[in-house]
Structures are given as structure tokens and as C-alpha cells.
Amino acid sequence: MRRHGAAWGVGLSWFLWTSAAVFSAEPAGGAASRAFFAIGQEFRFDTGALRGTLRPQGRSLGLSAVVEAGSGQPIAGAFGLLSHYRLLDAEARYGTAAWDWPSEARLMSDGAVEVRWTADAAHPFDMKAVYHWKSPNTLDLATTVAPKKDLRRFEVFLASYFAGFPASRVYARPSSGDAKPGFVEAEKSRGVWQAFPRDDAAIAMIQDGRWKRPPNPVDWTIMPRLAAPLAMRRDDAIGRIALLMAPPDDCFAISTPFGEEGHRSVYLSLFGRDLGASQSATARARLVIGPKLSDEEAVRLYEAYRQETAAR
């Protein structure tokens, strides 16, 4: 009961912020303000807290041109938020990115958007993504893969690029057994590209050669292990944070450049397991954008999310 009470206290402060934004920008609140609406090949949104576009010009670039509804403050970078980037397994990189893989999308009856990619010569699997607003500042994503052949150690590298947000932090375990988990700052002194693995198997995947495949190979610095798949981008100048999270079994690593590096990105490595032909699998993720929180409040929000997804 105490954990639920703590989560409610955090949720209340965020509710007050997002509710004020909704009522100032939307004549009718509720679920309608959290629905996407189709304009040509794009899907626009204005939740009252955030507004922008999903699939700009019909391309699979996630959420683009995202701004805070009240101030117009830019949130998303050029390549969007929650976009499906590299598609990898033990043997291959499938295309350059899902950005370039032709896809189709439809608006669902509940206001969510479903995106579908169909298997072709370069991609031996179907893929589906469903974007759904949980609340005015919280977006849920479910990605489902249906292989046409066996895939070993398959990975969807889910990318989010921010405008501003110069501090990047990942929730990790301490090197000392006596210390508590905490957010570790991605500092330049530790290398440009930093990967926080879940366990030894995750390290083996990161180092199995997949990141040597062009274009744009990456040499990752292995950082402390994840305490949970939870990352934070923070912008103290505007008093905002972005949280990215996933259930523990759905995400085997979180990666980021050092905070002020130009990409301003966070990446979730989803799946990370063998998938058999005709065996579909789903991985989930959540993006939350809002007022600055303490580390403890951010962790409590994650714990509420973990309990919510475990119950499904």
C-alpha cells in the first residue's frame, strides 16, 4: 500500500501539470485530446501538453516536430522520438534502418496508430508498431515482430532524439555491492558512445560484431549494468525531463552518447533473444515528458509502469 501511495503522490503532481495544459488548449478534454488524427500520410496530435506529428510525410520517423503545447518549446530532434532505427541479429543488419523500409499505417478506433512493415528480400520478418497516448504527456509503444525464418539474438534498436535536454542519465547498479542503484551521468570522460547492459548476455550481444556493420559502425564503452531499463534526458534550463523506460524482459540495454554530444539521443535495445520462424514476439516501451522530477520520483514512476505491464 505504501508503494501505491508514493506513486500516487508523484502521479498527482504530474496530473496537475498535464491537466492544466489540456484545459488551456483543448475545448474538450478526456480521451479525445489523447487521440491521433490523420492528415494525409501523417498523424497529428495535440494532447494539451504536447503537440506534433507521427510519421512526417508518411515516413517511419516516430514522433516529429514535437513541442510543448503551452510554450512552443521544441522537444524532439530531427530524427524523432521512439523511432525504429537499426534492425540487427547475430548474423545481419537488415537494411540501414526501419526508417527506409516501406510501411503503411492506419488510425485505430481508440485513437492509436498502427504501423506495419511487410517482410521483403531485405527483411525476413513482418513488424508492427502501435503508438498509444496513455496520458497527455505519456506515450506507450508496442513493437511486434513475426519472423519468416529463425532469428538469433534479434534486436530492434529504438531511437529517440531530443532538442535541448543536454544531460543524459541511466538508472544503473553500483559497482560496490553496498551502494544503492542510482542514475549514472553519461559524461564525456567515459567515451562518446556508452552502453548500459542488463547482464553478461547483453554484453555478449553488444560485442558480437553487430556494431561493426556499416553504415556508421559504433564502438561502445560498456558502462555499469542496468538496475532497470530506465533513462532520463534532462534540461534544467527549461525545467523539463524526458523518461524512457521498458519492462525488464523487453529491453536488454540502454545506450546514449555523453549528454551534450550533438545527437542528444537515447536508445533502447529491445528483444535481445532468439525468435523462431512464425513465432511472434512483442516488446514495449514508454516515453514520458514533463516537469523536472527527483530521481526517487522517476524511479517510482518506473515501478508503477513495471507493475502495470506485469499485470497485462
Strands (E) located in 162-264: 167-172, 182-185, 193-197, 221-222, 226-235, 240-245, 251-257
| Tally of CB atoms within 10 A around 44 | 15
User: For residue 214, what are the contacts with CB-CB under 8 A and spacing of at least 6?
Assistant: none
* Distance in angstroms (rounded) separating the CA atoms of residues 285 and 169: 17
* Distance in angstroms (rounded) separating the CA atoms of residues 9 and 77: 31
pLDDT in tens, 26-65: 334 567 678 999 999 999 999 999 999 999 999 999 999 9
Q: What is the pLDDT, as a whole number, of residue 32?
A: 65
Closest CA to 129 of 69, 81, 197: 81
Identify whether 257 is preceded by a cis peptide bond (ω within 30 of 0): no
Name the stretches of the chain with pLDDT < 70.
Answer: 1-30, 32, 177-178
Q: What is the pLDDT, as a whole number, of residue 179?
A: 82
| Tally of CB atoms within 10 A around 112 | 20
In order of start, what are the domains of the chain with their CATH numbers?
A: 2-310 (2.70.98)
Q: By the 8 A CB rule, do 7 and 18 touch?
A: no
Q: What angle is formed at CA 256 by the lines to CA 250 and CA 262, rounded to 5 degrees?
A: 140
Output the nine-digit C-alpha cell for 199.
Answer: 547482464
- 138-150 b/e with 16+ CB inside 10 Å = b? bbbbbbbbbbeee
Q: What is the pLDDT, as a whole number, of residue 175?
A: 79
pLDDT in tens, 233-264: 999 999 999 999 999 999 999 999 999 999 99
Instruction: Return phi, psi of residue 305, to 5°.
Output: -65, -45
What is the torsional sign of CA 39, 42, 47, 51?
negative
Q: What is the pLDDT, as a whole number, of residue 263?
A: 98
> Residue 225 is which amino acid?
R
Q: What is the pLDDT, as a whole number, of residue 25?
A: 34
**Which residue matches cell numbers 505491464?**
309
Q: What is the pLDDT, as a whole number, of residue 92?
A: 98
* Distance in angstroms (rounded) separating the CA atoms of residues 246 and 140: 10
> Residue 280 is which amino acid?
S
Q: pTM of the prediction?
A: 0.91
* Distance in angstroms (rounded) separating the CA atoms of residues 98 and 103: 9
* Distance in angstroms (rounded) separating the CA atoms of residues 133 and 68: 15
